[in-house]
Structure 1
Amino acid sequence: MRVVHVSQPVAAGVAGVVLELVRSQRDQGWAVAVVCPPGPLADRARAVGVEVREWPAGRQPGPGLLGEAVRLRRLLRDLAPDVVHLHSSKAGMVGRLVVRGRQPTLFQPHMWSFQSAGGVVGRAARAWERLAARWTHQLVCVSDDELALGRAAGVTGPAEVVCNGVDTERFHPADRLAARRRLGLPDAPTAVCVGRLAPLKGQDQLLAAWPLVRERVPDARLVLVGEGPMAERWRAEHDDASVLWWGHDDAVADFYAAADVVVMPSRAEGMALVPLEAMACGRSVVAFDVGGARQSAGEAGAVPHEGDVAALAEAVARRLADPALADEEGAHGRRRVELLFDRRQVADQVATLVDKLVVGVR
């Protein structure tokens, strides 16, 4: 079996999912390759012995789209895959334009493109996904919410939900106080938010809620782990000594361990990895009710209505003020991840879909 994974995102959640899949498929004896732009995904895939072909491609469609399509077509012709697995909207667009159903094709949106676009662009994205469904042999959604959104937009064809998974050995419960000492954080009620500092990830909503949290828990601290286009502006707008702007850090497990509660204030998701990683570390989560959040969290925390800043503040403050509640939810989360979201289960589900797809198309 030769599988080629094509991904435009090369960092954060999508890249992590791709890397886990290619490692698992390589370990079971398949010939696996990754086609992606230069960056962390390419570096990490090479480091674990996976073949990588560089595909310079921008995040958004633009004037370079034709050149990107030509380069991808050449790469796929050279690699001669049995299956092409396309990850996220840009690779999904270019890949399906190039392959057009001539080879078994999986498409995994990792959040629909039309979720982050309105008006004419959003309508065009929906129309494209309806058209491209004819060239998609297998749609793979990471949550029930993501599949429901696709169906509501008119996306047809075979589809399965394969939830995201995490490495339960890398992400595991650890001593909170020791983690705070390693990071140089004070021993105080601590909320952690991990993610790119961008409007879709919603840290501005958490920052708006933070004064309400501090009214109830005056010694609370908020740690924002990540970089992004809104970092400078948001930091200027929220000059608060209780907020630590940490920046990018690959050692996210330490931050989960240091937290009393991990917060995901996103405006849209497919199924975010951050709550799952936090749950694997035995930490309570508070996440807005966007794609996959309720499905992933279960009894491991709170899922307030998206955009309800007051409810977000209440949920965070309650867990900072009641460590026993937060720890109980964290224990629920660890058990839930072990049962439902272990990366090995996810890899097995995808491998089964690939096997069935190749047999069916042949």
Structure 2
Amino acid sequence: MSPSAHEWKESRVPPQPDRPGTGFTALHLVQPVEGGVAQVVLDLVAAQVAAGVRVVVGCPEEGPLAPAAARRGAEVHRWRATRAPGPTLVREVRQAARLVRLVRPDLLHAHSAKAGLAGRLAVRGRVPTVFQPHAWSFEAVGGLTGWLAGQWERRAVRWTDRVICVSDAERRTGERAGIDARWSVVRNGIEAARFAPEAAARGAAHAGERLADTARARAGLPALAALPPATPVVVCVGRLCKQKGQDILLRAWPQVVRRLPTARLVLVGDGPDAAALRGTAPPSVLFAGAVADTVPWYRAADLVVLPSRWEGMAVAPLEAMASGRAVVLSDVDGARESLPPGREEVCLTPPEDPAALAAALSALLHDAPLREAIGRQSRHHVLSTYDVRQTARAVADVYREAAGGPRTERREPIPQ
């Protein structure tokens, strides 16, 4: 679909002073409750609470999102929901409808496929609704399930006042799938100061001091602190699952080790594929498991990699670049947009191509000056383009447009 009247661009609607604030209630319906999606929601919660918005989060109790959202000032309600569609969907829709009746939000913001499915079925246009896919569900599955997911997304736009995509590429993927939505592109943002490189955190590096080695010694990571000083370390931060592509990385890694025998790979995160990955990993691969704070791991890395099969725009590479680290990414939605200009040839590889991934990792590990130059450029790029405050302001403008504009006849009764 070519750009149409449905498409909304910030340049066409100048920001107004009446962004949602005191007296406005936003309900975030969320599943999954970990990883990048959870971090995006938490950043929005903090910004909206600071603006005086009554923020309500409906999500499963399991995982870090519920307690973290409460600490940031959100009103948190349990919404029992699995990640995948299935026989529990009817119950999930009814629970979402009850939550909407209880909270009486001015706007529903549904995050990812399951919340987008249950939330829009529960509300059906009765409440201004924003859907944020965080990567399209029909990319994750094939066959009949993928076809049904695409059919649903094409139909569900009738109950969607705005679809927020985190990259232009994610929006184009939706358009190619025939989703005739009212679009807003609001790129993910991060709290860049939190990911300041170790040198910035302590003032300046001493002459001849290797930043990554110092970070390993200072970060309280015994597995890395025990490594010889010149050991090359590659870090992958992400849920251990098919989407993030750690299995592709493990197929590529032996080729890297053949060129750099002392290199080590660290997988940071947990997930459904953890046991399978551990069963196929060579001794040069370390598993850190789920961690409360990823900052020390980015600082400890010489290079960060995320070989995803699909994304909207991944948060982990933005965090790594804010930490001053070069990244190697698969060329999926959002990857090109997240990189600093001119680095695509060095930092991007075709999806599901272990040989190309190994070549890119090896080349950057062998070229410290290039790697460090990319790291500096990457940090500057993230600071100027992906600040979480810009993201929060853009989402507030979307809320204003979605909740303040004329509504259509799409409203239907909320199911009991």
TM-score, length of structure 1 as denominator length: 0.97
- Aligned letter for 1:177? D
Matches of residues 46-195 of structure 1 in structure 2 within 5 Å? 46-174=70-198, 175-181=211-217, 182-184=220-222, 185=224, 186=227, 187=229, 188-195=231-238
**Structure 1 outlier segments of 4+, above 4 Å:** none
Q: Distance in 1 between matches of 2:279 and 2:56?
A: 43
Establish whether residue 30 from structure 1 lines up as the match of residue 53 from structure 2: yes
Aligned to 2:261: 218
Q: Distance in 2 between matches of 1:279 and 1:53?
A: 34
Displacement of 1:48 in angstroms is 1.8
Matches of residues 302-317 of structure 1 in structure 2 within 5 Å? 302-317=347-362
Is the helix fraction higher in 1 or 2? Answer: 1
Displacement of 1:298 in angstroms is 2.6
C-alpha contact (below 8 Å) 1:279/1:330 kept by paired residues: yes
Aligned residue pairs total 361
Residue among 289, 297, 311 paired with 1:247:
289
Establish whether residue 271 from structure 1 lines up as the match of residue 313 from structure 2: yes
Residue among 316, 340, 345 paired with 2:390:
345
Aligned-residue identity in percent = 48
What do the CA deviations read for 1:328-347 (whole angstroms, capped 9, x no partner)? Answer: 10111101111111101000
What do the CA deviations read for 1:195-220 (whole angstroms, capped 9, x no partner)? Answer: 11112211111111111111222211
Displacement of 1:107 in angstroms is 0.3
Q: Distance in 1 between matches of 2:195 and 2:95?
A: 37
C-alpha contact (below 8 Å) 1:225/1:246 kept by paired residues: yes
Displacement of 1:98 in angstroms is 1.0
Q: Distance in 2 between matches of 1:329 and 1:80?
A: 48
Report which stretch shifted further, 224-233 or 263-272. 224-233
Establish whether residue 41 from structure 1 lines up as the match of residue 98 from structure 2: no
Q: Which runs of 5+ in 1 are unaligned?
A: none
Q: Distance in 2 between matches of 1:22 and 1:273?
A: 17
Q: Which runs of 5+ in 2 are unaligned?
A: 1-23, 199-210, 408-416
Q: Distance in 2 between matches of 1:291 and 1:136?
A: 22
Aligned to 1:14: 37
TM-score, length of structure 2 as denominator length: 0.85
CA RMSD of aligned residues (A): 1.2
C-alpha contact (below 8 Å) 1:260/1:319 kept by paired residues: no
Structure with greater Cα Rg: 2
Aligned to 1:209: 252
Q: Distance in 2 between matches of 1:235 and 1:179?
A: 26
Q: Distance in 1 between matches of 2:247 and 2:84?
A: 24
Displacement of 1:292 in angstroms is 0.5
SS in 1 for 2:266: strand
What do the CA deviations read for 1:220-279 (whole angstroms, capped 9, x no partner)? Answer: 1111111122222222222x2211112111221111001111000111111101110000
Aligned to 2:278: 235
C-alpha contact (below 8 Å) 2:42/2:72 kept by paired residues: no
